[in-house]
A and B are shown apart, each in its own frame.
Chain A
Amino acid sequence: GAVVSQHPSRVICKSGTSVKIECRSLDFQATTMFWYRQFPKQSLMLMATSNEGSKATYEQGVEKDKFLINHASLTLSTLTVTSAHPEDSSFYICSARDPRGRGGTDTQYFGPGTRLTVL
């Protein structure tokens, strides 16, 4: 149980374009989803916390107008990187919390990640 999918797995785009990444909980309803960014050989950095039906809460230093997050349903959250630039190239990972999961209300289940390369 507790499967999270992410799409696409890999994307290459030109500088100035926008990229949308989808995160889905496949077999549970996720009231909370999290978006992380991970640079090579570094730890995960929390970008924002997304609650279904409400605005995302962004971490300090993360531009909410650049990284648009929409959590329109209990199984889907999207991250849109607007006007992407080479410095946005990174590994983006989502996770979802299953409030009724056997693993406990605080257990996060991770998507497989999206490798974004901006040329």
Chain B
Amino acid sequence: GENVEQHPSTLSVQEGDSAVIKCTYSDSASNYFPWYKQELGKRPQLIIDIRSNVGEKKDQRIAVTLNKTAKHFSLHITETQPEDSAVYFCAPGDSNYQLIWGAGTKLIIKP
């Protein structure tokens, strides 16, 4: 089955700096690559996703890059703000529309 690894497990950055979280996966058939943000006690919220025919996608301060050959995709957040503090999950999707979740990255924005 799919093996998903996410790094780092915790990331602390100064407000205004950039944050990068990397996700590696093992199933070459994966074709959907989303990133979710989850605040404590709340539902996961889709923040950006990319499909296998695109290498990069940007939405304001958030971007996702995909390297299918190397089987990894990354989340980039620029100009970080206190409200960016949360746990972020990658969850590559397979042909059955199932998402395989990474262990999560706790992002801490220091004021």
Q: Which residues of A contact B31 (CB under 8 A)?
A: 106
Interface size in chain B (residues, C-beta < 8 A)? 23
Q: Which residues of A contact B93 (CB under 8 A)?
A: 106
Query: Which of B42, B98, B104 is in CB contact (< 8 Å) with A43?
Result: B104
* Contact residues of B: prevailing secondary structure: loop
**CA separation between A34 and B103, bound complex, in Å?**
19
Q: Does A29 contact B (CB under 8 A)?
A: no
B45 contacts across to A, CB distance below 8 A: 110
A-B contact pairs, 16 of them (CB 8 A): A32-B97, A34-B99, A42-B103, A42-B104, A43-B89, A43-B104, A44-B91, A93-B43, A97-B97, A104-B49, A106-B31, A107-B46, A108-B46, A108-B97, A111-B43, A113-B41
Q: Which one of B42, B49, B98 contacts A112 once the chains associate, using CB atoms below 8 Å?
A: B42
B6-41 interface bits toward A, Cβ cutoff 8 Å, 1 = contact, 0 = none: 000000000000000000000000011010000001
A107 touches B34 (CB 8 A): yes
What CA separation (Å) do A83 and B86 show in the bound complex?
Answer: 34
- With A106-B93, A106-B97 given, can you name 11 additional A-B contacts, CB distance below 8 Å? A43-B103, A46-B101, A104-B49, A104-B51, A105-B97, A106-B31, A108-B46, A109-B46, A110-B43, A112-B42, A115-B41
